[in-house]
Amino acid sequence: MSCEDVIQLNVPKTEPYLVVDGSITNIAGQQVIKLTKSQDLLDQTVPTGIQNASVKVTDDLGRIYEFKDLKNNGRYIWKPANETEIMGVVGRTYSLEIKSENETYTAISKLNRVPKIDSIVYKLEDANIRQKGDGKPDKGYDAHFYAIDPKGVGDCYRIKVYKNDTLRNLAQNIVIAYDAIGNKSPFGDGLSFILPLRRLANTELFRENDKVRVELLSITEAHFDFWLQLRQELNNAGLFARPSARIPSNINNVNANSAKQASGWFGTSAISSMEVKIDKVQAVKEFND
């Protein structure tokens, strides 16, 4: 600490621009697209929702889905006609159109396939150095999920882990896969997901009776690049940190010459999921590698 000095940066103000966070899935129920205003560097306040926008999604069959800001908070929602209606269909392409403050923004994404999760298994372990501290258990259950990437190079995924219905959503919890491995390569095609991708307790072991859920989400290759860059920037710190880079976005202003551009991502995902409750009687002695 004696080698550190606090420096207050005098960062110039910037004109707010549109930030989009939305994804269409193949899960029955409402779909949400969030519109907020960008913030200045080091601003710690809650982003302001953008109201009075027109938001619609059109699939490649011409069906139009209207999204409404029901609570005037920037969360634009499409509600299905019944509990079983599904918006996202594997293989279809979805186009987003946003009209806000006399500007029109568009994005496009294809909803790709996702494999079925075969199983979740767990075993009693001692915590490693990454799994210790901050009230985490020194001894608990490591858990792995098993799934096989389908044949065909270029399937991309994001892996989400929930503990007792709460998503583990820190920077170190961003796990993405290209086929069954973590980097772009033809060598992961058609394989079972490898370590560390299949490990669900990478930052903290689970306790007995914890509810563990894993979701495997298909994403496009461009969306894979977005998450890769975002993860690198969120973890870009320390003595050997590199210069920051702009996060890619697929949100485009139809007027390329406009000063009002946008950031964020509009994605599409098919979702495969599985959930278990940690029971010591069901724990395995060894994982199948």
18-112+249-268 is classed CATH 1.10.1740: no
Task: Kindly tell me if the per-residue pLDDT of 272 is higher than 70.
Answer: yes
What pLDDT digit, counting tens, does each position of 81-104 carry?
998 899 999 999 999 999 999 999
Q: For the whole prediction, is pTM greater than 0.95?
A: no
Tell which wins on pLDDT, 243 or 153.
153
Domain with CATH 2.60.40 in the chain: 18-112+249-268, 117-220+272-282
pLDDT at 2: 60
pLDDT at 1: 52
pLDDT at 143: 98
Q: Give mean pLDDT, residues 42-64.
A: 93
Q: Give mean pLDDT, residues 116-143.
A: 95
E-strand spans in the chain? 18-25, 31-37, 54-59, 64-69, 75-78, 93-100, 103-110, 117-126, 139-147, 156-163, 166-167, 175-178, 211-219, 252-253, 262-269, 271-277
Task: Kindly tell me if the per-residue pLDDT of 160 is higher than 60.
Answer: yes
CATH of domain 117-220+272-282: 2.60.40
